[in-house]
Amino acid sequence: MALDKNQIAKRIAKELKNNTYVNLGIGIPTLVANYIPKGINVEFQSENGVLGMGPFPYEGEEDPDMINAGKQTITTLPGAVLFDSAMSFSMIRGKHVQLTVLGAMEVSQQGDIANWKIPKKMVKGMGGAMDLVASAENIIVAMMHTNRHGQSKVLKECTLPITGVKCVKKIVTNLAVLEVCKKEEKLILLERAPGVCVEEIIKLTDADLIVNKNTPEMEI
């Protein structure tokens, strides 16, 4: 069975390392803050000037002045700090953010990511993605495996304007966990969603895959 958005975020949360600084992009990535594993201490940073974001607030407890870069209301943890965008991007460009989790419209088998523009369509735009893909030590993409027409978003080559080249290390979709193999410029199938067979993933993936017949199911 394919994962929903919250389950994708929950799987990505397992990639969090203790005592690291993490930036969460717009969309599915913002949900990761709700699933921090026990014993793991991370500081979530947002480009609009927040360090120390907590989970989403409960309904009725929202503070309209406390938002993330996607204009969603957030909570802050004890010790959180607020600052201007200049300071925020100094943190990013200074390589002080170890992990970035981004949404994407397309990802290629070389690790290219396209997530900021669809020609002739209105989308939210670049945001801080260009700086993040150029500066973060580790980039994980959270996305649906196919578009609404059932076409793969995991491609041999991106067809949309590219945000970053050969920067993505891992992709977590509703069907699979994939890792970029830079040496062969292919994607390694690491895990599959519960109940989803390897053959289905291959069928719905345009990119070239390195497949282990005994690919394990994700533990959600």
At 139, is the secondary structure helix, strand, or coil?
strand
pLDDT in tens, 36-58: 999 999 999 998 999 999 988 99
Tokens of 117: 């523009």
Do β-strands 186-192 and 176-181 pair in parallel, antiparallel, or remain unpaired?
Answer: antiparallel
Number of H helices, E strands in the chain: 4, 13
Q: pLDDT class for 60, splitting at 50, 70, 90?
A: very high
CB-CB contact of 159 with 206 (8 Å): no
Q: Decide if pLDDT at 108 tops 70.
A: yes
3 state SS of 87: helix
- Residue 158 in 3-state DSSP? coil
Active-site residue, from 15, 43, 47, 219: 47
Give catalytic status of residue 179 as yes or no: no
Q: What is the pLDDT of residue 126?
A: 61
In percent, the amount of the chain with pLDDT more than 70 equals 96
141-156 per-position pLDDT tens digit:
999 999 999 999 999 9
pLDDT of residue 119: 72
Edge to edge, the sheet with strand 99-103 lists 76-82, 50-53, 42-46, 20-24, 99-103, 138-142, 170-172, 176-181, 186-192, 209-210
Q: What is the CATH number of domain 5-210?
A: 3.40.1080.10
Cα separation of 201 and 212, whole Å? Answer: 12
* Residue 130 predicted with pLDDT over 90: no
Give me the residues paired with residue 22 across strands.
44, 99
188 has which bridge partners? 179, 210
Pick left, alpha or beta for residue 85 (phi over 0 → left; psi -120 to 50 → alpha; otherwise beta). alpha
CB 140 within 8 A of CB 99: yes
- Residue spans per domain, the chain: 5-210
**Token digits for 124?**
């939210």
Q: What is the C-alpha radius of gyration for the chain, rounded to an integer number of angstroms? A: 17
The model's pLDDT over 83-106, given as tens digits with 9 standing for 90+, comes to 998 999 999 999 999 999 999 999
